[in-house]
Amino acid sequence: MRRCLVALGLVWLPCLLPAATPFFVRVTDAETGRGVSLVQLSTPRDAIRFWTDSNGVAAIDDATFEGHDVIFYVKSHGYEFQEKILGEPGAKVHVTAGGHAELKIHRVNIAERLYRVTGEGIYRDSVLAGLPVPIAQPLLNGGVTGQDTNISIAYQGKLFWCWGDTMGLAAMSFAVSCATSEMPGRGGLAAEVGVNLNYFVDTGGFSRKMLPLTQPGLVWIEGLMTVPDESGRERLVATYTRQPGVAPPTERGVAVFDDDAGMFRVLGELPLRRGHKSSHPFLVTERGVKYWYLFPHQRVRDDWKALTDAKAWESFTCLQTGAKFDAKDVKLDRQADGKLVCGWKADTDRIEANEERGLVARGLLKAGETYFSLLDAETGKDTLASPSSVEWNEYRKKWILLSERTGSVYYSEADSPTGPWLRTVKIVGHNDYNFYNVELHPFFDEDGGRVIYFEGTYTASFSAAKELTPRYDYNQIMYRVKLDDVRLAGAR
């Protein structure tokens, strides 16, 4: 610490100023040695708290602690600290400017937490401690402090990223934000290291509105696809909705990215059949025909004209052809002998996982007639999870699904993208916090698909969380999981 004198009235008092390099604590995974992000260090009775950055580093920059032994209790979503202080997971460290301590924490989650993708101060503590960081903008990028729901895709040799509501230090955007990054191995960072985002920004340097509409409301992208236009040129296409808050959409449609203008423009509107639901489209070829599956049970041909033709959109559904789901009057498609007829039907509504559960509870569906059972592989109990993201996995030679329920993420496998998705294994938990709109990143798959990556929105919203996690709240966090982990056997 640096010493100085300050004037207080007519009395000069000694003071301490922070040293150039503060004391820091680095928390590492006991198994891998990698720094663990989102670990809370708190003094007894939660008097003062610090959180590790994406390097697992927490800068202890409180002058009060200088030269003292300090007890820090240690806790983190999906991890356990095994040392105990006064009966609580914690450790005692001696705080001295320029020094550091390393603590090892044991992972309980099957998936490994890696780093924060968005927001400010991703590597704040590492910068304060004078440590190297992997990304070009470790403190503030595009003026962004918080972003909701990521939708991403490979486009024109790069990765294209979009988000919903975006917060800044002195600005907000509710009309879609986007960025690009280089592919791993082609100028981009390795997936385990991080993502260098290049935001589309306005004249003030803040992440700009990428799909501004004339009518009021929040504009959210549901999914991204790359479809050849009538000239055969690859185009980036987005399905979107516009809505007043979380109320049902008042506009639904398809937009196309204008490469010259660097923004999306409306291509055409679609019927308002369903509320907004984030999708992570994946391409499937069946009998020589290419389809974009927005969900396991909704698709459209990989065809420019089909995108804006409502009758070209199909659902894998057990409803009667042309029916819309109505909980009060469910029009299930049954033959005279009672057999349920499920299949791809044009201009027909899909049935969501929770709606299936409701129909089973009412006796309208039998348990064996559902496609999203998602039963816990160990207990056999219903996880109440909902499908979030699907991809073909070359390592498992299976379709894999990540589903979610209020902070928990589950892993499943099936022989078809439509399922049925029967058993599932929990791979991530976030205590009382939420973690939603989970997205698989097939462009990050490693070792022939043995290692997969996914991210989601970490937020206190729609959860039992009693307080916000500074910097992390309302931002994207990246995870990875190794599919040869024996704990996943129950999902197979």
Please check whether residues 95 and 201 belong to one and the same domain: no
Distance CA 486, CA 5 (A): 61
Instruction: Give the pLDDT confidence of 266-289 residue by residue, as tens digits.
Output: 999 999 989 999 999 999 999 999
- Span 24-44, average pLDDT: 97
Is 15 part of any domain?
yes
Please check whether residues 104 and 149 belong to one and the same domain: no
**Is 60 exceeded by the pLDDT of residue 10?**
no
Give me 300's structure tokens: 């459209």
Number of domains in the chain: 2
Q: Name the pTM for this structure.
A: 0.95
Q: Which pLDDT score, from 0 to 100, does residue 367 have?
A: 86
CATH value at residue 8 = 2.60.40.1120
The secondary structure of 435-490 as a DSSP string is EEEEEE-GGG-BGGGTEEEEEEEEESTTS--SSPPTTTTTEEEEEEEETT-GGGGG
Q: Which amino acid is at 295?
A: F
- One-letter-per-residue 3-state SS of 235-263: EEEEEEEEECCCCCCCEEEEEEEECCCCE
Is 452 part of any domain?
no
pLDDT interval class at 1 (50, 70, 90): very low
Q: Which pLDDT score, from 0 to 100, does residue 20 have?
A: 67
Instruction: Give the pLDDT confidence of 358-412 residue by residue, as tens digits.
Output: 999 999 999 899 999 999 999 999 999 999 999 999 999 999 999 999 999 999 9
Is 356 part of any domain?
no
Instruction: Give the pLDDT confidence of 438-486 residue by residue, as tens digits.
Output: 999 999 999 999 999 999 999 999 999 999 999 999 999 999 999 999 9
Give me 109's structure tokens: 């989650």
Q: Which pLDDT score, from 0 to 100, does residue 247 have?
A: 87
Please check whether residues 266 and 147 belong to one and the same domain: yes
Summary mean pLDDT of the chain: 95
Is 132 part of any domain?
no
Is 490 part of any domain?
no
Please check whether residues 189 and 62 belong to one and the same domain: no
- Span 19-38, average pLDDT: 93
Q: Which pLDDT score, from 0 to 100, does residue 352 have?
A: 97
Instruction: Give the pLDDT confidence of 100-150 residue by residue, as tens digits.
Output: 999 999 999 999 999 999 999 999 999 999 999 999 999 999 999 999 999
Is 101 part of any domain?
yes
Please check whether residues 147 and 204 belong to one and the same domain: yes
Q: Which pLDDT score, from 0 to 100, does residue 245 have?
A: 84
Q: Which pLDDT score, from 0 to 100, does residue 419 have?
A: 97
Q: What whole-number percentage of the chain has pLDDT above 70?
A: 96
**Is 60 exceeded by the pLDDT of residue 248?**
yes
Please check whether residues 161 and 270 belong to one and the same domain: yes
Distance CA 108, CA 446 (A): 23
CA 71 to chain centre: 33
- From the list 40, 135, 218, the residue with the least C-alpha distance to 478 is 135
Is 211 part of any domain?
yes
Please check whether residues 175 and 274 belong to one and the same domain: yes
Please check whether residues 95 and 154 belong to one and the same domain: no
E strands, 229-334, are 234-243, 251-258, 263-269, 282-286, 289-295, 298-301, 314-317
Residue 200's domain comprises 141-279
* Close Cβ partners of 100 (under 8 Å, ≥ 6 residues apart): 23, 24, 25, 26, 129
Q: Which neighbouring-strand residues pair with 301?
A: 291
